[in-house]
Structure 1
Amino acid sequence: MQLVHRTLMDSLDEGTLEPGQRIKAAELAKRLGLSRAPVREALHVLAGQGLVELLPDKGAVMRRLTLEDLIQIYEVSGAVAKVAVVAAARRIHEGDNRERVAAAIAKIRATEHAPPSHRFYFALNDLHYLLNEIGEKPYVDYLMGVLNIEYWNRFLADTIDLKASIPGYIANYVRLADAVLAGDWRAAGAIMESHVEWSISLLEGSQRR
């Protein structure tokens, strides 16, 4: 299933697959060197996770995310991410956790002048995955996977004016990291909530443009 998911994401980046387009299981199986059965099984699993839609007349197609979908995923993923953010702040003084978080936020800062794309969000994701690990919250990783965060990232990049918004993202994440590094779990949780509200306002603003 992970191999099929990764291949679909690569196809989106290559421009050979678009949201709403039919996924040809036979061609996908040939590309992966697999039989059709495991590919079809993977597509059914991905359909259950909301990445793919199974339509009677078309078979499997990449699901289009609406603006309301994007907002709801932000609401859910933000609440889930806050759990790990708070837990990580409580454990920041253990081992080399401070150094690891500092390195992750330095990576985010370094993206400010890179060409804006959905890959910017991957640096943010890396920080969250690190905080999940530090906070020992593996189910947060699991839920982020179920929400198809990487696919969602691609829609965010196409919906939000990312070039104008990246400085705001970085400022929010620097504040978040500072609170985590200080071990201030209450502030870290509040900043996560504030960031989600700000991000949703960007999406709502995109609708009015």
Structure 2
Amino acid sequence: MGLKREGDSLVNEGQDTMIAFLARPTGRAGVDRVLREIVLGLVNGRYRSGEKLNANKIAKEVDVGLVPVREALHLLAGQGVIDLLPQKGARVKGLSRSETEEWHEVFRVLTLIGIRKAARLLREQPDLQAQLAQTRAVMDRLPSEKSNAGILTAILEFHRSINAFCKSEILDEASRRLQVVHWISFVAQYASLVPHRIAIMENYLRLVDALARGDADSAVAAYNYECAFISALIRGEQPDTMSDWIRVTPF
């Protein structure tokens, strides 16, 4: 089965929670197993832009009947992730480099809501520092990541953790409605993340340090810098972290 491949960087303890963050489980075991397979396939690059999803093949890999597969495909089509085809199959929707960058900018605006709220909570409730330390630990594995998918998974887990920290199901739901599972897979295709994984980690750690101080302004500035860094990589640039290359849109 594709999602159990040895060495797959997406196989980790936080995986199921991350998938729930991207595509809400239906409560029907067969459908949820199919959603899990397709979501992982999108994020780790197994399913790429324009690729046809064969319902029979997915059913065999996940060991379910065709009915759960078709239901899962209809759910993802409703989210705008795939297009249904006349012969009961489906195709992954494509996104251009510029469209992917625009989706990333929308995600920045959404996730800043959680970051601001987290800073306020930490300023008002110092006993939450231990929980923040767990969120920080998500980024500690980046130096050993060898794939874009693994880095993106850590980023998504970080923001899922921030949303949980804020006890904000609304932010999780908004992320699902913004088709994160779809456009994030194109970041992995367009951006060369692995050579910059240390810089990405350092950017996020600066964000966490600001959160730990309860400093919302510094946290927002650090996160805007990180998002501008990722956007540059999506555009195909190779930013020099030692130079003043960054262009940050005020927010």
TM-score between the two structures when normalised by the length of structure 1: 0.83
Alpha carbons of structure 1 residues 5 and 146: separation in structure 2 relative to 1, 3 Å? farther
Secondary structure of 2:148 counterpart: coil
**Gapped regions of structure 2 (runs ≥ 5):** 1-30, 239-251
In the alignment, does 2:158 pair up with 1:131?
A: no
What percent identity do the matched residue pairs reach?
28
Alignment of 1:59-78 (within 5 A): 59-78=89-108
* Equivalences, count: 207
Using the TM superposition, give the Cα deviation of residue 17 of structure 1 relative to its aligned residue in structure 2, in angstroms. Answer: 4.2
Using the TM superposition, give the Cα deviation of residue 151 of structure 1 relative to its aligned residue in structure 2, in angstroms. Answer: 4.5
Alignment of 1:114-153 (within 5 A): 114-153=145-184
In the alignment, does 2:92 pair up with 1:29?
A: no
Alignment of 1:12-23 (within 5 A): 17-23=47-53
Give CA-to-partner distance per residue, 1:16-74, whole Å, 9 cap, x none: 64432222223333444444334323212211212111244784112223212311211
More off after superposition, 113-122 vs 92-101: 92-101
Structure 1 residue corresponding to 2:203, chosen from 172, 187, 192 = 172
In the alignment, does 2:64 pair up with 1:44?
A: no
Question: 8 Å contact 1:22–1:58 — kept in the other structure?
Answer: no
Secondary structure of 1:110 counterpart: helix
In the alignment, does 2:84 pair up with 1:54?
A: yes
Alpha carbons of structure 1 residues 39 and 199: separation in structure 2 relative to 1, 3 Å? same
Alpha carbons of structure 1 residues 16 and 178: separation in structure 2 relative to 1, 3 Å? closer
- Which amino acid in structure 1 is aligned with residue 101 of structure 2? I
Using the TM superposition, give the Cα deviation of residue 96 of structure 1 relative to its aligned residue in structure 2, in angstroms. Answer: 4.7
Cross-structure match for 2:13: none
In the alignment, does 2:193 pair up with 1:156?
A: no
